Each structure stands twice: as C-alpha cells, then as structure tokens.
C-alpha cells in the first residue's frame, strides 16, 4: 500500500498548531530563530508524544521581525552558532519531555539558500550531523539540499510543497513573485494526489517535474490552513494512500559533478 508523510511547520504563532497536529504525521517545530520559544516547543512536543506525531527541528535565520524569510549576510561561524543554539534548545526540551527528535528542516530563506548553494548546504548539514549523526534532514527534493545531505551522509527525507509554486528547475518560486503561494484548495489537492500517485509536480510554466518526495509540506500560515490540510488528508486516504511518517533514506554519497 502506498504511503506518504504530511508535515507542517509549527510553533510559529499561527494559532493552528493543535488542529494541524490532529492531521499531520510529522511536525517541524520552530526553535527560537524566526519564531517559537521554550514554552511553544514544549507544548508541541507534548502533543506529538501523545498523538504519535514525528517531531523535527525547524531552525532558521534569527530574524523574528521578518520571520526568517530574508537572507541575512553574516560570517558563517555566526550563522552556524545560531543553528546550534536553536538545536540545543529543542533537543534539551525533547529529552525533558521524552520525545525523539527525528529530523531537521531548515526554514524560509535559509532553506532556499541551501536548496540553491551546494557548498553552503554542505557546511550547514555537516554542522548538524556533528551534533547528532542519526539526525535526518527533511530536504526539498531535486535541490542542492539532497546532494548536500548525501555528501555528508545524513539520513534523508525528500520533501515537496503542497501550496508553493515551483520553477522549471525544481526550486520554489520566490514569495515576492505573483502566484508563489497556491491558494486554490482544488489545485493543492490535485497536486498532492499527483505527487503521491505518480511522483510528478507541475511547475509554474507547465514543466512536469519528476519527484521522489514522500513527505508533503502543508504550511500553517496558508489561508484556511487547517481545513485545507484536512481536505488533503481526506483526498489522499480516499485514494487508498496511508498517511505515515516514512523512514528516511540511508544511502551512499551522491557524486557531485565538476563545475
């Protein structure tokens, strides 16, 4: 039977966390960078434990004013320190609550930058792996995140986005561009079904992209997020697709072509 993971970014102050945790199978928890604090982290982890939802860390640029959605120029050591601090916080609370922290998913501008820049992604993923060699990464499929995860030997969960437009290269259309966020529920549901059943995503220009993603992100800040997430889950299950947190890939290093 086909199965797919539904994940959501939580702890970001949208007021939808508890409702989404009744729908998704994985929760990416903001850990003090772009949003979130010890109280919100602890609250979400307790619900994850009670409901059997896989828990992950969701670090980003420390830039609450702009919600971590703009790239910040800083020394790499400073950025890596920010990521370590966020992971230390969420791991400490997870240990306290008694929940396994299974993966890391980068947020916003940091995620987009690692999706585009291989060397940058390798540096960040190597830092995360040094903290916990068993930690998986939830990575945008077909991006440099996937290549970087394989290069450093991190377990890999390939991800696609339900409500974000794609470029023909398989990256996300910047939020500053019209149509970057897909708000038509029927279009979102159709995309999720096509991905789950055929491994395909249609880019904004009509290009059909092949994807091995087995985790679909449902954003908590999309208008009508909870209703949309519920409709997506219902549509998938109606097609006989099980919602479950699939195990990460653990494989050999992927060759990086010479530039």
Vertex 20: Cα angle to 17 and 24 (nearest 5): 130
Task: Give whole-number Cα distances, 98 to 25, 27, 90, 95, 234, in Å.
Answer: 18, 16, 12, 5, 31
For the cut 70, the answer to whether the pLDDT of residue 251 exceeds it is no
Whether 98 is covered by a domain: the verdict is yes
CATH (domain of 225): 3.20.20.370
Do residues 168 and 203 lie in contact, with contact meaning Cβ atoms separated by under 8 Å?
yes
User: Domain limits at 94?
Assistant: 3-243
Give the pLDDT score at 255.
47
Q: How far apart are CA 39 and CA 20, in angstroms?
A: 18
Whether 18 is covered by a domain: the verdict is yes
Total of domains in the chain? 1
pTM score: 0.93
Give the pLDDT score at 1.
58
Phi-psi category of residue 11: left, alpha or beta, with phi > 0 → left and psi -120 to 50 → alpha: left
User: Model confidence over 116-134: pLDDT tens digits?
Assistant: 999 999 999 999 999 999 9
Count helices and strands in the chain by DSSP H and E runs: 8, 10
What are the residues whose beta carbons fall under 8 Å from the beta carbon of 77, sequence distance 6 or more?
none
User: Model confidence over 171-182: pLDDT tens digits?
Assistant: 999 998 999 999
């Amino acid at each position: 039977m086909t199965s797919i993971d539904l994940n959501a970014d939580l702890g970001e102050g949208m007021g939808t966390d508890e409702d989404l945790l009744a729908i998704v199978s994985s929760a990416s928890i903001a850990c003090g960078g772009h949003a979130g604090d010890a109280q919100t982290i602890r609250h979400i982890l307790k619900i994850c434990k009670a409901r059997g939802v896989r828990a992950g860390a969701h670090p980003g640029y420390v830039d609450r004013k702009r919600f971590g959605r703009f790239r910040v120029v800083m020394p790499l050591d400073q950025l890596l320190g920010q990521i370590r601090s966020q992971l230390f916080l969420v791991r400490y609370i997870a240990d306290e609550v008694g929940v396994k922290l299974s993966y890391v998913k980068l947020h916003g501008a940091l995620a987009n930058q690692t999706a585009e820049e291989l060397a940058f992604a390798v540096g960040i993923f190597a830092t995360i792996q040094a903290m916990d060699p068993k930690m998986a990464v939830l990575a945008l499929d077909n991006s440099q995140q996937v290549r970087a995860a394989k290069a450093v030997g991190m377990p890999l969960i390939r991800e696609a986005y339900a409500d974000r437009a794609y470029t023909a290269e398989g990256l996300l259309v910047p939020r500053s561009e019209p149509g970057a966020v897909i708000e038509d529920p029927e279009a979102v549901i159709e995309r999720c079904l096509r991905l789950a059943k055929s491994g395909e995503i249609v880019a904004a220009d009509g290009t059909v992209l092949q994807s091995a993603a087995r985790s679909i992100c449902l954003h908590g800040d999309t208008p009508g997020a909870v209703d949309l997430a519920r409709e997506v889950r219902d549509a998938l299950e109606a097609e006989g697709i099980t919602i479950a947190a699939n195990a990460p890939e653990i494989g050999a290093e992927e060759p990086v072509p010479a530039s």
